[in-house]
């Protein structure tokens, strides 16, 4: 059996430029409103006036680039009534548009909102890890476009061995829901999943 492929993201290197997001939309010619890879901004903190009149702050902000995580426990697969969702031997989860009826069950089941409805075609769409490039020995468009090299793609176990086992930070959902094929190097100010230290600063984009 082929190895499980996955993404690695280094939040300390990400500047929030969204080059990964744009490259994905450009390659797959995605309609307005359909964004397979999204850059989430999480921020918060306070300014405090001390007794001596000085001011200290705990302001922070960081980005998380996220797409379909081709999860071990892919809930989209479980709820699809037509068999349109499938997983390759290398773990990449795909949607067969010919079988999809646009019921949106996969969209509702996914905690990452990865499957997205294409209004024009009446079917679900999502990140496919640029399987065409991967099959040719190349990198997904998002990885190739990142100017700060914050994204990597490859064998999940190798990524975990090199970079650790963290797969979730705020505001992402807990990793134990679907066991995503994702490794994150947290930002120095990263808040744990479920934290109320900050807010999602760009909800209209994600």
CA 165, distance to chain mean position in Å, is: 16
Helix locations, 18-137, DSSP H: 19-28, 75-79, 105-109, 131-135
> What is the C-alpha R_g of the chain?
18
Residue 2: the pLDDT is 58
Query: How confident is the prediction for the chain on average, in pLDDT?
Result: 96
* pLDDT, tens digit, 9 for 90 and up, residues 58-113: 999 999 999 999 999 999 999 999 999 999 999 999 999 999 999 999 999 999 99
At 176, the pLDDT band (50, 70, 90 cuts) reads very high
pLDDT band of 1, cuts 50, 70, 90: very low
Q: Is the pLDDT of residue 4 over 70?
A: yes
Domain ranges of the chain: 5-194
Query: Contact, 124 vs 116, CB < 8 A?
Result: yes
Asked: is 5-194 a CATH 3.30.413.10 domain? The reply is: no
Q: What is the mean pLDDT of residues 27-50?
A: 94
Residue 59 CB-density burial (10 A; 0-12 exposed, 13-18 middle, 19+ buried)? exposed
DSSP collapsed to 3 states, 159-195: HHHHHCCCCCCCCCCCHHHCCCCEEEECCCCCCCCCC
């Amino acid at each position: 059996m082929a190895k499980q492929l996955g993404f690695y993201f280094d939040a300390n290197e990400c500047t929030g430029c969204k080059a990964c997001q744009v490259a994905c939309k450009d390659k797959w010619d995605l309609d307005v409103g359909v964004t397979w890879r999204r850059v989430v901004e999480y921020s918060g903190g306070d300014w405090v006036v001390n007794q001596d009149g000085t001011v200290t702050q705990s302001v922070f902000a960081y980005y998380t680039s996220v797409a379909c995580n081709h999860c071990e426990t892919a809930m989209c697969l479980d709820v699809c009534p037509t068999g349109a969702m499938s997983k390759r031997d290398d773990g990449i989860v795909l949607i067969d548009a010919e079988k999809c009826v646009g019921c949106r069950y996969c969209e509702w089941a996914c905690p990452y909102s990865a499957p997205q409805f294409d209004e024009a075609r009446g079917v679900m769409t999502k990140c496919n890890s640029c399987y065409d490039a991967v099959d040719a020995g190349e990198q997904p468009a998002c990885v190739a476009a990142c100017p700060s090299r914050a994204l990597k793609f490859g064998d999940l176990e190798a990524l975990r061995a090199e970079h650790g086992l963290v797969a979730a930070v705020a505001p992402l959902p807990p990793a134990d829901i679907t066991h995503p094929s994702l490794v994150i190097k947290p930002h120095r100010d990263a808040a744990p999943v479920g934290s109320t230290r900050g807010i999602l600063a760009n909800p209209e984009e994600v």
